[in-house]
């Protein structure tokens, strides 16, 4: 849900167009995620994207798309077609459209060679092509792959060529392209935004709480839902950071007053990083016992750098034997109540904390589907247990969706429980590990 005034309210500024190159996108074989990566960064820098054109690996059609973009835009950004093979045509077409020769760029060649050295891989002759650029271009270093990018200027315009590999493109946008654009195409006012992240409230309920804010002009407020959580983005147009803060902060405070109960973080925070921060603040360690999620919660927690400070480890207790052997769940409980039950979730949580000497034990057991459901215990039924200082509480959830969705929503709920408990803990409750 967004205010439709959000764009119309702004003055015209620098115009950008995107040209995405790759036949596989036109065959539906891959989803283009790069365009969103580029576009959100440009939006953040106050640069508008007016058109995005996707073409296959075809000389004529790439040239047509590029030529047309140059009739309308200040900045044209391409993605894809910088590889070493015959159908990687971007550098040739850009040179032709700009009327330049293609020349070997010595620093680009050095970077291509260095990349192969770092990877301990032989460089094939075809990779020499990756150091070719339209005469007079600058290159964009690529820490994560072979092909450097290209910045080719023509008068006031710039054509920027990036590879199609997402993690390469992302780093190059952040490290080189955005600073270049801000230096050379700085719009009069920039967009500054702040993202607030919520768990435990639906998008429409949150939008109702914020209803009057969603129609404001500057800053604008918009809600987005996805992956079992809701984000609110506050965007202000201002000349500098001080001006932006004056616009953003009162609105953020207002939103926190209305919905703070569900707010878990801001910006790049995730439920795993928020839970980690709360554990660290409380001085607590966490152990997990996962059944239906099979390691997903541990994987999310350890995706955060530095998580070894507060994460003790855990058990992927997929089988009953693992629940007994690794966590000390009494076999009798499993027989009497079944693996997906409140008493077993409790015993798993307590067992994980004890076995690993952790302050907090988190356990999940449930039926992710598609098979395994019964009338009593349908697919999507999940118990989540949390043991802190010898006391364990267990909650029962009924999630809807396929296997992946049930597992994901389980991990969301579990991480939020840990976060809330550790935040409360950081405010004073003393406990000892593994009690």
Report in angstroms how near the CB of residue 195 gets to its own copies at its nearest. Answer: 9
On the 0-12 / 13-18 / 19+ scale of CB atoms within 10 A, 233 is middle
Interaction residues for its own copies, span 6-25 (CB under 8 A): 6-8, 23-25
Please tell me whether residue 56 binds its own copies under the rule CB under 8 A: yes
Of 92, 109, 113, 144, which lies in the binding site for its own copies, with binding defined by CB under 8 A?
144
| CB within 8 Å of 79: residues ≥ 6 apart | 18, 19, 20, 21, 34, 35, 38, 162, 163, 164, 169
Phi, psi of 242 (to 5 degrees): -65, -45
Binding flags for its own copies, 328-347, as an x/- string (CB under 8 A): --------------------
Interaction residues for its own copies, span 158-197 (CB under 8 A): 165, 167
Beta bridge partners of 221: 234
Nearer to its own copies, 94 or 406 (CB): 406
Interaction residues for its own copies, span 25-44 (CB under 8 A): 25-33, 35-43
Of 21, 45, 52, 138, which lies in the binding site for its own copies, with binding defined by CB under 8 A?
52
Binding flags for its own copies, 387-426, as an x/- string (CB under 8 A): -----------x-xxxxxx-x-------------------
CA–CA gap between residue 22 and residue 396 (Å, rounded) = 47
Which of these ranges, 49-57, 95-103, 180-188, 329-337, lies near its own copies under the rule CB under 8 A? 49-57
Beta bridge partners of 287: 313, 361
> Which tokens is 53 given?
């054109």
Nearer to its own copies, 264 or 310 (CB): 310
Report in angstroms how near the CB of residue 160 gets to its own copies at its nearest. Answer: 16
DSSP helix/strand/coil, 138: strand
Report in angstroms how near the CB of residue 302 gets to its own copies at its nearest. Answer: 3
CA–CA gap between residue 117 and residue 110 (Å, rounded) = 10
Neighbours of 406 (CB within 10 A): 25
DSSP helix/strand/coil, 46: coil
Interaction residues for its own copies, span 84-113 (CB under 8 A): 84-88
DSSP helix/strand/coil, 386: strand
CA–CA gap between residue 118 and residue 133 (Å, rounded) = 23
Report in angstroms how near the CB of residue 133 gets to its own copies at its nearest. Answer: 21
Given a contact cutoff of 8 angstroms between Cβ atoms, the answer to whether 155 and 142 are in contact is no
Side-chain half-sphere exposure of 415, counting CA atoms within 13 A:
30
Which of these ranges, 104-112, 152-160, 250-258, 352-360, lies near its own copies under the rule CB under 8 A? 352-360
Nearer to its own copies, 86 or 261 (CB): 86
> Which tokens is 121 given?
């891989």
Which of these ranges, 79-87, 176-184, 276-284, 418-426, lies near its own copies under the rule CB under 8 A? 79-87
Q: How many residues bind its own copies (CB under 8 A)?
A: 110
Distance from the first to the final alpha carbon of the chain: 47
Interaction residues for its own copies, span 201-220 (CB under 8 A): 202, 204, 207
The DSSP result for 244-307, as a single string, is HHHHHHHHHHHHHHHHGGGEEEETT--HHHHHHHHHHHHT--EEEEESTTTTHHHHHHHTSTTG
Interaction residues for its own copies, span 360-389 (CB under 8 A): 368-371
Containing 327, the helix (H) or strand (E) segment is helix 320-327
Strands 286-290 and 220-226, sheet pairing = unpaired
Which of these ranges, 155-163, 237-245, 321-329, 419-427, lies near its own copies under the rule CB under 8 A? 321-329
Interaction residues for its own copies, span 258-317 (CB under 8 A): 287-288, 290, 292-303, 305-308, 311-317
Of 188, 319, 336, 374, which lies in the binding site for its own copies, with binding defined by CB under 8 A?
319
Sign of the four-CA dihedral 10, 226, 42, 135: negative
Nearer to its own copies, 153 or 231 (CB): 231
Interaction residues for its own copies, span 119-138 (CB under 8 A): 119-121, 124, 126
């Amino acid at each position: 849900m967004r205010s439709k005034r959000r764009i119309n309210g702004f003055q015209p500024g620098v115009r950008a167009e995107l040209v995405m190159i790759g036949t596989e996108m036109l065959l539906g074989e891959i989803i283009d995620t790069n365009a969103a990566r580029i576009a959100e960064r440009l939006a953040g820098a106050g640069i508008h994207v007016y058109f995005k054109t996707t073409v296959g690996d075809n000389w004529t059609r790439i040239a047509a798309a590029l030529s047309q973009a140059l009739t309308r835009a200040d900045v044209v950004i391409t993605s894809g077609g910088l590889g070493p093979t015959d159908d990687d045509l971007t550098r040739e077409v850009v040179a032709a459209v700009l009327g330049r020769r293609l020349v070997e760029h010595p620093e680009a060649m050095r970077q291509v060679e260095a990349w192969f050295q770092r990877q301990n891989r032989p460089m094939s002759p075809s990779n020499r092509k990756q150091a070719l650029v339209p005469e007079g271009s600058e290159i964009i270093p690529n820490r994560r792959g072979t092909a450097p990018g290209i910045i080719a200027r023509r008068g006031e315009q710039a054509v920027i060529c990036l590879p199609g590999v997402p993690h390469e493109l992302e780093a190059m946008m952040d490290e080189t392209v955005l600073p270049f654009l801000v230096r050379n195409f700085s719009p009069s006012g920039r967009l500054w935004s702040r993202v607030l992240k919520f768990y435990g409230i639906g998008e429409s309920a949150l939008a109702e709480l914020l209803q009057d804010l969603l129609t404001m002009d500057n800053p604008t407020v918009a809600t987005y839902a996805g992956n079992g959580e809701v984000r609110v983005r506050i965007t202000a147009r201002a000349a500098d950071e001080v001006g932006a803060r004056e616009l953003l902060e009162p609105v953020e405070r207002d939103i926190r007053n209305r919905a703070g109960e569900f707010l878990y973080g801001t910006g790049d925070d995730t439920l795993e990083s928020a839970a980690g921060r709360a554990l660290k603040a409380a001085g607590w360690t966490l152990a997990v016992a996962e059944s239906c999620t099979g390691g997903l919660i541990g994987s999310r927690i350890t995706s955060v750098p530095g998580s070894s400070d507060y994460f003790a480890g855990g058990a992927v207790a997929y089988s009953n034997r693992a629940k007994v052997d690794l966590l000390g769940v009494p076999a009798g409980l499993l027989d009497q109540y079944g693996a997906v039950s409140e008493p077993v979730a409790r015993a798993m949580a307590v067992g994980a904390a004890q076995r690993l000497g952790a302050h907090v034990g988190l356990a999940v057991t449930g039926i992710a589907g598609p098979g395994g459901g019964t009338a009593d215990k349908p697919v999507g039924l999940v118990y989540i247990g949390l043991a802190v200082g010898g006391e364990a509480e267990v909650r029962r959830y009924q999630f809807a969706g396929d296997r992946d969705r049930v597992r994901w929503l389980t991990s969301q709920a579990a991480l939020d429980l840990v976060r809330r408990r550790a935040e409360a803990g950081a405010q004073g409750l003393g406990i000892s590990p593994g009690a």
